[in-house]
Structure 1
Amino acid sequence: MPQHDGSYKKTSRKRSSLKKGESVLPSGFQSRLHDLFSQIEKEFEALYLENVALQEKLDSVTTLHEQKDSSLTYFPGTSLDKSFANSSLPNDGGDAEISTSGQKVGSSGKVKGGIPGQQKVALRLKAQTSRIVSSFKTNAVSCSLVKEFNGHKDGIWDVTAAKLAIPVLGTASADHKAGVWSVDSGRCLLRYQGHTGSVNSIRFHPTRELALTASGDHTAHIWQASVAWEQMIQKGLSSEEEFESSEKEEFDESGDGPIGLATLRTPSSVLSGHTSVVIAADWLPGGEQIITASWDRSANLWDTQTGEKLQSFTGHDQELSFVATHPIQKLVVTTSKDATFRMWDLRSPCHSVSVFQGHTENITSAAFTREEKLVSGSDDRTVKVWDIRNMRAAQVTIRLDSAVNRISLSSNGLIAVPHDDRHVRIFDLSGQRLARLPRSNRQGHRRMVTSSTWGDDPKCNLFTCGFDRVVMGWNVQSTKEKDRDKDEKAGSTVNK
């Protein structure tokens, strides 16, 4: 049996006399231990912050490596593809450069400035907290992948939907081509290759079978988007086979050729006047006028019939990144890398302008609602909802964990937000997150998602595109509508 000295007996008596929760350690030892644990905690905090910063750098380097491996074009005015090495497009100074320091390249084509370490960590933690909280909420919207549209040979910058003779999609790609696709069959019906640079945006005329494209070759083109619809739907191969074959075979404007894919090389009108990349273009209501936005820091207003430039709008301090028009009023919004966007009122001869401030980085896109609201998205990882009658501050700010690219608004007020991180999230105008498009079971985009657009077909009503060269068609439906459809199907089955 071990022997104990008198100090053990004293300690035992002292321990028995202690109140519950008190320590047997002398106060000096306690103080020393508290200091040591405090230092250890600080060391762990420093290691955690360092780990987060290293993870940020690793994510950026990994993204950059994937971008290089995929040989995709990441700048609207230039191409990384060797086949386009002799393109007439300029490099536009230092703005169209791939960062080698691990900084991320956004869909705007300009390297994004770094965020200070502490601020970046704070933003990351805030976004993670928001993500954890939202994970406990039941999605009010269900999303499922319906189909894919394949065929482009480089990243796709833009996608738009329209109802011509049939429901169609328009695509604009860094492979210097634009396409018109059947929503129902998924086939490419018409390929336009009149540009000599990356095609950065595409929009269809409000009432006629015309398409408008903006390009890195400093021009915008208007071209005929009409084809022999029924013949083209019944004839031809898959979209990938069509694009591959069209690289080898020659086609004329009538679409005669080995497989019947219509290829158009001659525009109806060329809008020349910008001195740098034309990043986007849109029709004004009625389709009699067009607005273009350029890296030369100006937006030009054009007459559709004559191709004449009517007016040039200036004022932005840096390159323009997007332009959009109001669906029913003669209002135009231009966004810029100067972190502002401007609303131009063309309803009166004076053409007044309002300047909106609130973002901290490049504003990548903006969209009007039919009411008095406007939604903007930015590289600062926020989406903001504004009242165009009061531009002092945003009504709603949605904070996210990745840069925002070209957003789109549905007719019932849903915002589709495509991200650099390959995700697409859906919000309502109050800022509530409703859903995120699935990226499991090999579904979803494999590269940055650049653009989104809503369609009218309830079976396939949202389309997204990205640097993985694919357009994806989704069914986005409220859970109430989905449950009602299930009940109706169940009822019809019972009746049978």
Structure 2
Amino acid sequence: MPIEGSGGIAAGGVSRPSTKQKRKAHSLSIGRTNSGEPDRNAVHRDMLEGQDSRLPPAIRQTLLELFGQIEKEFEVLYVENVELRKEIDSLNERLASEGAVTDGSELSKGVFKTKTGHSTSQLSQKLKTTYKASTSKIVSSFKATTTRAVCQLQKEYAGHRDGLWDVAATRIAPVVLGTASADHTAMLWSIETGKCILKYVGHAGSVNSIKFHPTDQLALTASGDHSAHVWRYLVQLPLTQTSIDSNPSGEDEVDASDKDEAEALDAAEAASEAALTVRAPVTALKGHQGVIIAADWLVGGKQLITASWDRTANVYDAETSELLHSLTGHDQELTHCSTHPAQRLVVTSSRDTTFRLWDFRDPSIHSVNVFQGHTDTVTSAVFASSENVVSGSDDRTVKVWDLKNMRSPIATIRTDSAVNRLSVSPTHKIIALPHDNRHVRLFDMSGVRLARLPRSNRQGHRRMVCSAVWSEENSTCNLFTCGFDRQALGWNINTTALIQEKKAP
């Protein structure tokens, strides 16, 4: 997640992305025209302007966006179909050389009959799967209108001075939102009002992750200053008594130019300065020799785990700060760690393209299973249930694993951009995928795409999305995302409607 810049680590950790990443984020923010490709929206706009149109501008703009998405999907499908045709021709030649008899009608059905009358069932299934996937991509292109109705942006949480690496929500009342930023601070927010209620300034480096204690008002943050802090926050209802409005003007910060956007964010930053401040931790854990990239509480909250760029993960006693276990085995820097909500299980992910499952249920045995299936950095791995783990990677795939069979994933989701810290809805088992290309997509556990969160000039993230978290304890927002546009967003996802759409023929 946090990336080491060309100038090394600043202030004990990474506070800003590298120059290369800045250029990438900037190029993504100005669209595809800078890549040399034609602006499809402009082409469609010219076509529509050549005719008399009575459509309202908002509807016309929506149609233009949909046309661009459909055209892009069909381009991808065309390339895939060309490759598939080449593969089929190659298989025909091989089958012919081996004495098999095929014809066009049999091929279209995905069944190859040999002289002995047997069918090549595996090849048939492969072709069916390929065509089914292609069809689902076409259908997903026409879901944008319904997606806007079931995935709505509700709140913006702005006030940080640099990009946000992580977002979390408390599990106890009152439910508040927490953000971890490269500006060396962590902030707590009122979910309903969007106001900053507390700021933690105890770290000397980038704050790379934040997690809340399951039963107490304690927060755990990991930092580039080689330490993890446990600090206490005191939040009481009503939240508005001690909260500071992060957008005092009340204006829509999203509908603005880059200059106006910067001015709005600066105003939010100034407002957040007046929030309550916590300057010192209850406990500081300093057992690592490198950047601590993530930390989490084990079930019950009596122990916690930290993951570091020094290639180890440490398990501590939360009350005494005693180092209980040092987990070694990864070949490269760790990128994330996550704990099971009900059992003493931990997963750690790494740049070595693997993630590992650690079992602490038996105090005398700390078994480890290594999951290999990605070809690039595993950015996160989280528990989806007592039997499944979902992993995301820079190789642009997400894989669903059965803990009882680690040899191969039970489902693979292929995307068009690197996947960052994902989250799985505990109730509905919906996977939220934050991407480098500013998109957030929703999938089910079988790999079927359910929706893409709206992203346009008026709403959505403007830089890479670093993290997502589900929170089903409040009615205002049940999904939160954060990114390097210095803000977190709260979404209301109608999960029932998404599931019904998936079941509909």
Q: Same fold (TM over 0.5)?
A: yes
TM-score normalized by the length of structure 2: 0.68
Q: Which position in structure 1 is the counterpart of 2:206? A: 198
- Note the aligned Cα RMSD (angstroms): 3.3
Q: Take 2:365 and 2:441, find their aligned partners in 1: how far apart are those partners?
A: 39
1:77 shift after superposition: 6.4
Whether the aligned pair in 1 keeps the contact of 2:348 and 2:355 (CA below 8 Å) is yes
SS at 2:365 equivalent: coil
Q: Which position in structure 1 is the counterpart of 2:235? A: 227
Post-superposition CA distance 1:396-435 (Å, at most 9, x none): 0001110000000112100000000000000010110000
Q: Counterpart of 1:384 in structure 2: which amino acid?
A: K
Q: Take 2:346 and 2:406, find their aligned partners in 1: how far apart are those partners?
A: 15
1:75 shift after superposition: 3.2
Q: Give the one of 397, 414, 418 matched to 1:403.
A: 418
Q: Say whether 1:309 aligns with 2:236.
A: no
Q: Take 2:406 and 2:209, find their aligned partners in 1: how far apart are those partners?
A: 27
SS at 2:152 equivalent: strand
Whether the aligned pair in 1 keeps the contact of 2:177 and 2:190 (CA below 8 Å) is yes
State how 1:48-197 maps to structure 2 within 5 Å: 75=2, 87-89=10-12, 98-99=19-20, 125=79, 132-136=137-141, 138=143, 142-197=150-205
Q: Which position in structure 1 is the counterpart of 2:480? A: 463
Q: Which position in structure 2 is the counterpart of 1:371? A: 386
Q: Say whether 1:440 aligns with 2:456.
A: yes
Q: Counterpart of 2:2 in structure 1: which amino acid?
A: F
SS at 2:281 equivalent: coil
Q: Say whether 1:477 aligns with 2:494.
A: yes
Q: Which position in structure 1 is the counterpart of 2:406? A: 391
1:388 shift after superposition: 0.6
SS at 1:244 equivalent: helix
1:136 shift after superposition: 4.8
Whether the aligned pair in 2 keeps the contact of 1:134 and 1:433 (CA below 8 Å) is no
Q: Take 2:6 and 2:236, find their aligned partners in 1: how far apart are those partners?
A: 33
Q: Which position in structure 2 is the counterpart of 1:449? A: 465
Q: Say whether 1:326 aligns with 2:343.
A: no
SS at 2:400 equivalent: strand
Post-superposition CA distance 1:212-264 (Å, at most 9, x none): 000000000000022354365465333665641565xxxxxxxxxxx5x2100
State how 1:1-16 maps to structure 2 within 5 Å: none
Q: Take 2:136 and 2:165, find their aligned partners in 1: how far apart are those partners?
A: 28
Post-superposition CA distance 1:57-91 (Å, at most 9, x none): xxxxxxxxxxxxxxxxx8356799xxxx9954168
- Residues 1:123 and 1:208: Cα distance change in structure 2 (over 3 Å): farther
- Residues 1:212 and 1:79: Cα distance change in structure 2 (over 3 Å): farther
Q: Take 1:129 and 1:160, find their aligned partners in 2: how far apart are those partners?
A: 35
Whether the aligned pair in 1 keeps the contact of 2:25 and 2:464 (CA below 8 Å) is no
Whether the aligned pair in 2 keeps the contact of 1:326 and 1:368 (CA below 8 Å) is yes
Residues matched between the structures, number? 377
State how 1:207-218 maps to structure 2 within 5 Å: 207-218=215-226
Q: Which position in structure 2 is the counterpart of 1:16? A: none
Whether the aligned pair in 2 keeps the contact of 1:281 and 1:323 (CA below 8 Å) is yes
Q: Take 1:136 and 1:124, find their aligned partners in 2: how far apart are those partners?
A: 15
Q: Say whether 1:297 aligns with 2:311.
A: yes
- Residues 1:212 and 1:98: Cα distance change in structure 2 (over 3 Å): same
1:308 shift after superposition: 1.1
Whether the aligned pair in 1 keeps the contact of 2:192 and 2:476 (CA below 8 Å) is no
Q: Take 1:452 and 1:458, find their aligned partners in 2: how far apart are those partners?
A: 17
- Residues 1:212 and 1:100: Cα distance change in structure 2 (over 3 Å): closer
Q: Counterpart of 1:238 in structure 2: which amino acid?
A: S
Q: Take 1:188 and 1:387, find their aligned partners in 2: how far apart are those partners?
A: 40
Q: Give the one of 336, 341, 362 matched to 2:355.
A: 341
Post-superposition CA distance 1:318-353 (Å, at most 9, x none): 000000001101000000000000000011122000
Whether the aligned pair in 2 keeps the contact of 1:78 and 1:216 (CA below 8 Å) is no
Whether the aligned pair in 1 keeps the contact of 2:380 and 2:392 (CA below 8 Å) is yes
TM-score normalized by the length of structure 1: 0.70
Q: Take 1:276 and 1:126, find their aligned partners in 2: how far apart are those partners?
A: 44
Q: Take 1:207 and 1:78, find their aligned partners in 2: how far apart are those partners?
A: 38
Q: Say whether 1:244 aligns with 2:244.
A: no
Q: Counterpart of 1:315 in structure 2: which amino acid?
A: G
Q: Take 1:317 and 1:375, find their aligned partners in 2: how far apart are those partners?
A: 21
- Residues 1:168 and 1:471: Cα distance change in structure 2 (over 3 Å): same
SS at 2:238 equivalent: helix
**Percent of aligned positions with the same letter in both sequences?**
53
1:441 shift after superposition: 4.9
Q: Which position in structure 2 is the counterpart of 1:424? A: 440
Q: Counterpart of 1:166 in structure 2: which amino acid?
A: P
1:455 shift after superposition: 1.1
- Residues 1:375 and 1:410: Cα distance change in structure 2 (over 3 Å): same
1:369 shift after superposition: 1.8
Q: Which position in structure 2 is the counterpart of 1:350? A: 365
- Residues 1:355 and 1:305: Cα distance change in structure 2 (over 3 Å): same
SS at 1:390 equivalent: coil
Q: Give the one of 298, 301, 304 matched to 1:284.
A: 298
SS at 1:286 equivalent: coil
Q: Take 1:445 and 1:87, find their aligned partners in 2: how far apart are those partners?
A: 26
Q: Take 1:196 and 1:130, find their aligned partners in 2: how far apart are those partners?
A: 51
Q: Take 1:320 and 1:124, find their aligned partners in 2: how far apart are those partners?
A: 39
Q: Take 2:448 and 2:293, find their aligned partners in 1: how far apart are those partners?
A: 30
1:131 shift after superposition: 7.9
Whether the aligned pair in 2 keeps the contact of 1:79 and 1:198 (CA below 8 Å) is no
Q: Take 1:305 and 1:266, find their aligned partners in 2: how far apart are those partners?
A: 16
Whether the aligned pair in 2 keeps the contact of 1:76 and 1:198 (CA below 8 Å) is no
